[in-house]
């Protein structure tokens, strides 16, 4: 009779220890203890051939009122002059952009502007679907290049 009780106590002790290890492992896996919740950030998903594309150099600065000021370096990979007409950050259409007019083939420019995004706060992580609209020389309609910008608001 004593052997059965000793075996049960032995299994219970190791069971609780394994459960505690599993819980700590799950918390570490879901990054509860991590300060790097945003990840590395970057520009992803943009069409890279025959298009106006971000080069990976961008910044989105937010104040605590939700106003986001952005600067995105773009490159013209087309064989003709293009004019960047507008930018869309998330669901917000930005019409007050600066730069990017008459962008020569193979050249780069920095476009900038501002938008009001409801949940934008300094230090908060973001992943924004971003669309850059441009009109190549000789075209009458805008072409859109869509991808995501991610990182942390400065």
pLDDT at 21: 93
Residue-wise pLDDT for 24-35, tens only, equals: 888 877 766 555
Q: Are 133 and 143 in contact (CB under 8 A)?
A: yes
More confident residue, 49 or 40: 49
Q: What is the pLDDT of residue 63?
A: 81
CA distances to 30, 79, 95, 117, 139 from 69, in Å: 31, 30, 13, 10, 30
Q: Given CA atoms 120, 122, 127, 132 in this order, what sign does their dihedral have?
A: positive
Phi, psi of 101 (to 5 degrees): -90, 135
Q: Rounded to an integer, what distance in angstroms lies between the CA atom of residue 52 and that of residue 45?
A: 13
Q: Where on the phi/psi map is residue 135: left (φ > 0), alpha (ψ -120 to 50), or beta?
A: beta
Q: Which pLDDT score is estimated for 19?
A: 92
Strand order across the beta sheet in which 125-136 lies = 42-44, 143-152, 125-136, 82-89, 92-94
pLDDT score of 86 more than 70: yes
- The mean-pLDDT minimum among 92-101, 103-112, 145-154 falls in 92-101
| Phi and psi, residue 59, nearest 5° | -145, 140
Summarised one tens digit per residue, pLDDT across range 60-78 is 888 878 888 888 889 999 9
Could you tell me which of 58, 57, 48, 44 has the C-alpha nearest to residue 78? 48
User: Which pLDDT value is given to residue 120?
Assistant: 83
- Average pLDDT taken over every residue of the chain: 84
């Amino acid at each position: 009779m004593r052997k059965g009780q000793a075996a049960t106590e032995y299994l219970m002790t190791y069971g609780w220890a394994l459960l505690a290890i599993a819980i700590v492992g799950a918390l570490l896996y879901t990054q509860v203890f991590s300060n790097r919740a945003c990840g590395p950030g970057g520009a992803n998903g943009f069409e890279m051939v025959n298009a106006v594309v971000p080069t990976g150099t961008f910044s989105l600065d937010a104040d605590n009122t939700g106003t986001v000021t952005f600067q995105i370096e773009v490159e013209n990979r087309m064989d003709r002059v293009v004019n960047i007409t507008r930018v869309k950050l998330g669901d917000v259409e930005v019409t007050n952009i600066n730069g990017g007019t008459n962008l020569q083939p193979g050249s780069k420019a920095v476009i900038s502007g501002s938008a009001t995004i409801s949940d934008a706060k300094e230090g908060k992580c973001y992943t924004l679907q971003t669309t850059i609209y441009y009109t190549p020389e000789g075209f009458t309609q805008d072409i859109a290049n869509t991808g995501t910008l991610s990182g942390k608001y400065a």
